[in-house]
Amino acid sequence: MRFRFVSALLGGLSLAPAQALDLSDTVQMHGFISQSAVYTSQNRIAGSQPGRTGWDMREIGANLSWRPDADWLVSGQLLSRRAGNADNGGVRVDYAFVDRLLVSGEHTVGLRLGKIKNPFGFYNTTRDVAHTRPGVLLPQSIYHDQVRSFFLSAPGVSLYGDASSDRGNWQWQASLLQPEVNDRNLTVFMVDNQPGSFTGKPSGLARVLWEGETGWRAGVSLGSFKMRYRPAAVDFLSAGAITLNTALFSLEHNSENWTHTAEYAQTRQSRNGFNVPFAPILDQPSTIEAFYLQSQWRFAPRWQALLRYDNVVLDQSDRGGARYSAATGMPAAQRYARDWTLGTRFDPTPDWSLFVEAHHVNGAAWLSKLDNAPATTRPSWDMLLMQAAWRF
């Protein structure tokens, strides 16, 4: 019934023109809808059951922007996202900020205040709209959907700018923020199924992007995210703190028919105060290593193919998870994931995109623990995704 409702809504909206709704000379509205079908051989993704096709993966979003004059912008977006137990379809504020342009001309500088998109890698600031993604899923090693709310945006203040030179165009952004960490997905990801919760602490994130005239672009993202754990009345853990110091390096080359992209990240995870006597490994620092290699081939008008290899280990010194498994009794596959993806995309009109992609995954590091009890996850599994996406 839900799928039929969304299908009908998509069909009706497809009659609208492929452009923003201009509510006035200074106000615009954009929106998007996506509906996916998910099949997995093992484990659960977005509410799907192994061996059965699931229809519970969908997004509906709308954003509004108001530009009272050339130097001011007010913008925000509401989103409803359904993806199994990780997202229940409730409406939330994805971002909402006020933007003031401070310097204009050959070099620009501006200031944003509010709930701001986090500048991280090539895709994070645009990942909310399906058309901006190369496939149904972004590389999960770096753009982990199960903790999407934590990565996408955060309340804070951001200074940004851009400049042009003979060597290319530069964009930069630096943010002081308080990460949104009161999310059960994040708690389960960080401390397994403990009943406590996190509070965010003042943190920082910065990104520099360069784009040349020969098809190359590159970027560096540096961040330090801080949070503190508040144990429940009955809890195995004591009050503890986690700091995630991350560095992400991005490189891409574009030509007429090809786009080749690679990103590599290391995140140093410092943990203290949890006092886990039965598993001290959970109270020790570790380094998360993640990378992907991706190629997109535009082999015909409105068609493109995708090939990607995506790899993550949650502890660089325990790549196979053996030490973690011995200390906790949990499957070693919880600590790594290696994902091969092959897909295709067809854009029948500028406002519609249709995706099909197949995954072969070894490991469970980015599977939602709200959908998959760690002790029952299977290390080797396959997945088929299909998605229809519309925007205006």
The DSSP line for 222-271 is EEEEEEEEE--SS-SSPSEEEEEEEEEEEEEEE-SSEEEEEEEEEEEEEE
Distance CA 359, CA 341 (A): 5
- β-pairing, 153-165 vs 168-177, is antiparallel
pLDDT value at residue 166: 83
Tell me the C-alpha distance between 366 and 183, whole Å.
Answer: 16
Helix (H, G, I), strand (E, B) or coil at 329: coil
- Put simply, whether the predicted model's pTM sits higher than 0.75 gets the answer yes
Residue 18 half-sphere exposure toward CB, CA atoms < 13 A: 10
- pLDDT given for residue 15 in this prediction: 37
Distances (CA, A) of 327 to 64, 120, 274, 321: 50, 33, 16, 10
Residue 334's closest CA among 344, 324, 342, 343? 324
Q: Which CATH code, of 2.60.120.310, 2.40.50.140, 2.40.160.10, 3.40.640.10, is assigned to 2-391?
A: 2.40.160.10
Find, among 392, 388, 365, the residue nearest to 55 by Cα: 388
Per-run averaged pLDDT (10 residues), the chain, 392 residues = 40 45 86 96 89 93 95 96 88 96 93 97 94 96 93 96 91 97 87 87 98 96 96 86 96 97 97 75 85 98 98 95 88 96 97 98 94 90 97 92
102 CB neighbour count, 10 Å cutoff: 12
Q: What is the pLDDT of residue 6?
A: 40
pLDDT for the residue 11: 42
